[in-house]
Amino acid sequence: MEQNNGTRVTEFILLGFAGQHKSWHVLFIVFLVIYVVTLVGNIGMILLIKTDSSLHTPMYFFLQNLAFVDLCYTSAITPKMLQNLVETEQSISLIGCTVQLLVYGAFAASDCYILAAMAVDRYVAICNPLRYGTVMSQRVCSQLLTGSYFMGFLNASVNTSFTFSLNFCKSNKINHFFCDVPPILALSCSSIYWNIMLLTVFVGFNLTFTVSVVIFSYIFILAAILKISSAAGQKKAFSTCASHLTAVTIFYGTLSYMYLHHRTIESQEQEKMASVFYGVVIPMLNPLIYSLRNQDVREALKGVGKKCF
């Protein structure tokens, strides 16, 4: 780190978890296993949907992209975290930190919008089944997906550029295991008022808009399900939404805690745990949720099993 009146930072030190030097080998094994399961699960989901013609529907089109997005944003942070657990010098270059924040932020924000698009898909499928193929056409699905990626990369590029336009003179030690906006802002000797406002507006809008889409979609879905006369019909209709609803609850609950709660010194380690769950564990859970709780995916897996064995 070059020193002058404005201190030019050329690298950052990722402090990681409190006391990680005492139990680094346990943390390394745990996170390595999680990452391997994440890779296998999400790549497997992508290939399964691509190769099984019965899964070539709008719902699984979005699920395939959800698996891709999960794979990308966890891969932006987990390999570096594993590297820093075994190395004594837990550094990351300025460029590396910028790229990590950009990739992580872009795909994490895209995840929000893809989950919202999946809620719309379930709404159309249950509330307007006769027009499902027309409404959720390939063109519409592609537009929703393009919009999701556009919003993700717009959010990430704006926040990343504003964050790294600051001067850092307090320290180059990031109190986190990856480069995220709040702990980087804590190192700035410039005014961060507009950065905090920008982060609040973007995250607030992303959460408010996508959660509203999900909530209103499920209100109409619930109303439609309650109108079904048979219990078997209600169960079948609800089962098509159960996996998505589980994934949405876990995802948005953790994201809200990470970015919208009041920060204190005592809560920093709790924030890191929430970040681990959001950035490392959830990408592992999503393929498990959709494979264990989804009849179509289970049947497709059985078909692959029969072909292989």
CA distances from 155 to 79, 101, 109, 198 (A): 23, 11, 7, 10
- pLDDT reported for residue 226: 87
CA distances from 260 to 100, 111, 112, 215, 296 (A): 22, 18, 15, 19, 36
Average pLDDT across the chain, whole number: 87
Interval 243-268: pLDDT, tens: 888 888 888 887 777 666 655 555 67
- pLDDT reported for residue 254: 79
- pLDDT reported for residue 5: 47
- pLDDT reported for residue 255: 74
Q: How confident is the model at residue 1 (pLDDT cuts 50, 70, 90)?
A: very low
pLDDT at 309 over 80: no
Instruction: Give the whole-angstrom CA distance, residue 229 versus residue 296.
Output: 24
Q: Which of 72-86, 208-222, 238-252 has the lowest mean pLDDT?
A: 238-252
- How many C-beta atoms surround the C-beta of residue 169 within 10 A? 18
- pLDDT reported for residue 69: 96
Alpha-carbon torsion 252, 253, 258, 260, what sign?
Answer: positive
- How many C-beta atoms surround the C-beta of residue 221 within 10 A? 22
For 135, the token pair is 């409404």
- pLDDT reported for residue 259: 61
Q: How confident is the model at residue 93 (pLDDT cuts 50, 70, 90)?
A: very high
Q: How confident is the model at residue 78 (pLDDT cuts 50, 70, 90)?
A: very high
Q: How confident is the model at residue 229 (pLDDT cuts 50, 70, 90)?
A: confident
- pLDDT higher for 257 or 135? 135
- pLDDT reported for residue 3: 43
Percent of the chain residues past pLDDT 90, beyond the cut: 52
Are 176 and 272 in contact by the 8 Å Cβ rule? The answer is: yes
**H or E stretch covering 92:** strand 91-93
Residues with Cβ < 8 Å from 136, sequence gap 6 or more?
A: 58, 121, 124, 125
Q: Which of 118, 109, 84 is nearest to 290 (CA)?
A: 118
**Amino acid letter for position 275:** S
